[in-house]
Every structure is written in C-alpha cells, then in structure tokens.
C-alpha cells in the first residue's frame, strides 16, 4: 500500500481541485478503504507474489501508516471516510469489513454530514 500512497493522495487532491475549479461550492467527499489483511496476493504486470512480511509487507503491517497518510488529506475535503477491510486477493477471494457494524454506523454518519453540508451550501 505504501508504495502507491503518494500517487493515491495526489490523485485525490487533484480531483478535489478540479471539482472546486468547476464550482467553488462543490461538495467534496472521499471514501478510502484500507486493507488490513494479514496476507495478500499482488500483481505487478505479469509478476505475481504473496506478501511475506519482510520484503513484501502484509497490508496489516502498513495499515497505520496508510491511514495516517490519508488522514493528512482531511482538510482538503468536506468529508473524508476511511473504511478498514480485509481482503487477501487469494482464492476464494474472501472479503470482510474489519468491524461491519462500525462501518455501517460510520457510513450512515458520513451520509448525514454530507446531507447537512448540502443543505447549508445549497
């Protein structure tokens, strides 16, 4: 994750700036999901590898740093939501929210705040 974090951050900020350039009152929101799996299969072109925790870090080892990097973007957005999940990209491709109940609550609150932002702005 960390290898790509600067590109992800740049893409998010550039998108916000484009929206605000088109309309200064645009409501900007981001939902970023952060993988917390203890193992992961990755692909880079034709190359495939499974994390080993040393040379290729497991997502769980990078979760805190990735979350901190994304949190740095909070001032750029009206709303920013970070959702932790677990996915290995290994058959049978399991996926789970780290805490599904908290995810539902956080997402609901996110939508309420966006709704309030819309009412205030428009």
pLDDT at 23 (0 to 100) = 95
Query: pLDDT digit string (tens) for 14-27?
Result: 999 999 999 999 99
Q: Cα–Cα distances in Å, from 47 out to 42, 44, 57, 58?
A: 8, 5, 16, 17
Query: pLDDT digit string (tens) for 36-55?
Result: 999 999 988 999 989 999 98
pTM: 0.90
Phi, psi (degrees; rounded to nearest 5) at 45: 65, -125
DSSP string, 86-110: EE--STT--EEETTHHHHHHHHHHH
Structure tokens belonging to residue 66: 């990735």
Residue 48's beta-bridge partner residues? 43
């Amino acid at each position: 994750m960390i290898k790509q974090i600067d590109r992800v951050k740049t893409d998010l900020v550039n998108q916000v700036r484009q929206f605000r350039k088109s309309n200064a009152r645009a409501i900007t929101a981001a939902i970023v999901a952060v993988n917390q799996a203890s193992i992961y299969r990755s692909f880079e072109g034709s190359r495939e590898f499974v994390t080993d925790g040393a040379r290729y870090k497991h997502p769980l080892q990078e979760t805190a740093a990735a979350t901190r990097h994304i949190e740095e973007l909070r001032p750029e957005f009206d709303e920013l939501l970070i959702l932790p999940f677990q996915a290995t990209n290994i058959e049978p491709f399991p996926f789970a929210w780290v805490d599904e109940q908290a995810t539902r609550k956080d997402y609901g609150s996110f939508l309420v705040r966006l709704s309030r932002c819309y009412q205030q702005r428009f």
